[in-house]
Amino acid sequence: MTIYHGQENVSKDYSPKMHEQSCATDQTVTDRRSVIRKLAVGTVALAGCSVLPAKWTTPLLEFGALPAHAITSGEVASLYGYANQVEIFNTGEKVSVDSILQDKFVFPMLGPDYGPRFLIVWSDGNELAVSDSSRMAMVGSESDARKFQPGGPYSHNNPDIPTMEVYAKRGTHPESVTVYY
């Protein structure tokens, strides 16, 4: 007996049992392929999970000063855009400005030795920008009077100012002052 299945001519030996076996083989091949795919995906996922740490931690960041040629864009927040810094701690020295005592910070070098311009930042947040380190700079209000003296020949060879000095805002007692240069 000849049975037509679609356009195909099926042989006379056709039996429903053979058709079932043929379908079962196709299904087995399909099942094997999906099992292999699932195993591959599972293996990749397992490998990816094994690389992850057991517990997430906050990343540790370390900051350092970069040379001027290494800074390409933006500012380094900790250095205000400058390449170097020096910090001097409050030793309790005072200076009398208009008969009012202010905290005085004495640096080991002359102002211009730190560069042509710099930024002075006290630990209490007050700042003084110095655009010419060879000239005295200050905030000139009576309640403030933050001041920078370059020292030595830049301070008219005043023997009381042999090196750079910085005076804190009146009425404040910051722990330190940092010069960014």
Secondary structure in 3-state letters for 26-64: HHHHHHHHHHHHHHHHHHHHHHHHHHCCCCCCCCCCCCC
Amino acid at 82: Y
Alpha helices of the chain — where are they, by DSSP H?
16-51
Identify the CA nearest to 167 among candidates 122, 109, 116, 119: 122
Q: What's the pLDDT tens digit per position in 59-101? A: 665 555 655 555 555 544 567 788 899 999 999 999 988 888 9
User: DSSP class of residue 11?
Assistant: P
* Residue with token string 């020096």: 86
Domain boundaries, the chain: 3-51, 68-180
116-157 pLDDT tens trace: 999 999 999 999 999 999 999 888 777 888 999 999 999 988
3-state secondary structure at position 84: coil
Is this structure's pTM higher than 0.85?
no
Q: What is the pLDDT of residues 1-15, one digit of tens each?
A: 455 555 555 555 555
DSSP state of 116: S
- Give residues with Cβ within 8 angstroms of 146, minimum separation 6: 120, 122, 126, 128, 138, 139, 166, 167, 168, 169
d(Cα 118, Cα 79) in Å, to the nearest integer?
Answer: 11
